[in-house]
Amino acid sequence: MANQNVSRIFVVGATGAQGLPVVRGLVGDSSYAVLALTRDAGSARANALREMGDVDFHEGSFADEHVLRTGLRACDGAYINIDGFNAGEKTEMYWAIRCYEIALEEGIKFLVYGNLDYTLKKARYDSRFRTGHYDGKGRIGEWILMQNELNGDRMGSALFTTGPYMEMAFSARTPMTPTVEDGIVTWRVPLGDGAVAHVALEDCAYYARWLFDNAARANGMNLEVAIEQVKYADLAAAFERVTGNRAQYVDTPIDVYFDGPYKQVADRPAGYNADPNDKSTMSFRDNFSGFWNQWKHNIISRDYALLDEIHPQRIRTIDEWLQREDQRGRDAGIGGLWEKVQPAYLQKHSILKLGEDGGRGKL
């Protein structure tokens, strides 16, 4: 197997919600340098990366072979997390494959692929659970591990499989944005008695760094992460315990869900650069019906004992995450979680780069 010690990592998706903590985890102690791919090196998110130190920028798009080749050639490691809601399922799959192929050709020693669960396969190919932005990544993740069996002596690779960030349940323009109804924080989502394997962005910094630090063990691994399986009735109860403010979860039929705040986007493509006339393009309604079904029917699970071993200080419960996030906001002078779910705050803040782009981003 090739020497997998890397020093400079080409990061695709560096300015995204996951990319920011991943880069911080890599450069925080100057063990690694990062070359971050961005369409705009002067953006607010790029400036946040610049302030971390040991971060340079490569301007361009992941959907450009020359840009990928020159960026990968300048590095010896790669972290590839393509924005599926930018590209759409079909385009993401093509460019993810090309990222791997070019990385191998350009001499990358170790590649980490930002992955999501192959839900359709885990649901035994029942289309009620088809979720385009999950399945597109999941198919490529499996393909990368198959390639690793042939090419692992040239370039090691690993999957970093995440899921909905816990922060998304407290942010605007996400599938689980809360409302405040008569002074009660409310999540109206079609979850039934299911549970979501929510991920803490704070922990992503550690896990991504662990994969590069432990490349020999991580080679061929699919590291699937989460805090815990979060039921939204438990989320509401934990919110009340931590903040002292009332909260509730209202199980909502899927048709009512799409006839509410998401009505305007329900029939748009699930991928703002996807071709709406392409029969392979899923609508937001179809995509997120599968998304919520996978959690409602508990299709997705995690090996929490393995996560405890890899990250002994990881965030293990929703209460712990809420306490940290509430205190972090207070320390920063922007208020706790109660203040963050108020409409005036939500209007101006979204954890997702897609929310900031307003569905107008470019490939």
At 144-163, the pLDDT tens digits run: 999 999 998 999 999 999 99
Number of other CB atoms surrounding residue 183 within 10 Å: 7
CATH architecture for the domain at 8-164+197-224? 3-Layer(aba) Sandwich (3.40)
* Domain 166-196+228-299+331-356, CATH: 3.90.25
* pLDDT over 60 at 339, yes or no: yes
* Strands 179-181 vs 184-189: parallel, antiparallel or unpaired: antiparallel
| Amino acid at position 91, single letter | T
Residues of the chain with CATH 3.40.50.720: 8-164+197-224
* Stretch 229-257: mean pLDDT: 98
Average model confidence (pLDDT) across the chain? 94
**For residue range 246-279, what is the model confidence (pLDDT) as tens digits?**
999 999 999 999 999 999 999 999 988 899 999 9
With cut-offs at 50, 70 and 90, classify the pLDDT of residue 351: confident
Distance between first and last Cα of the chain: 35
Q: Are 227 and 317 in contact (CB under 8 A)?
A: yes
Give the pLDDT confidence score for residue 1 in this predicted structure. Answer: 38
Question: pTM of the entire structure?
Answer: 0.95
**For residue range 92-123, what is the model confidence (pLDDT) as tens digits?**
999 999 999 999 999 999 999 999 999 999 99
Residue 186's DSSP bridge partners are: 179, 248
Residues of the chain with CATH 3.90.25: 166-196+228-299+331-356
CA–CA separation, 358 and 46 (whole Å): 18
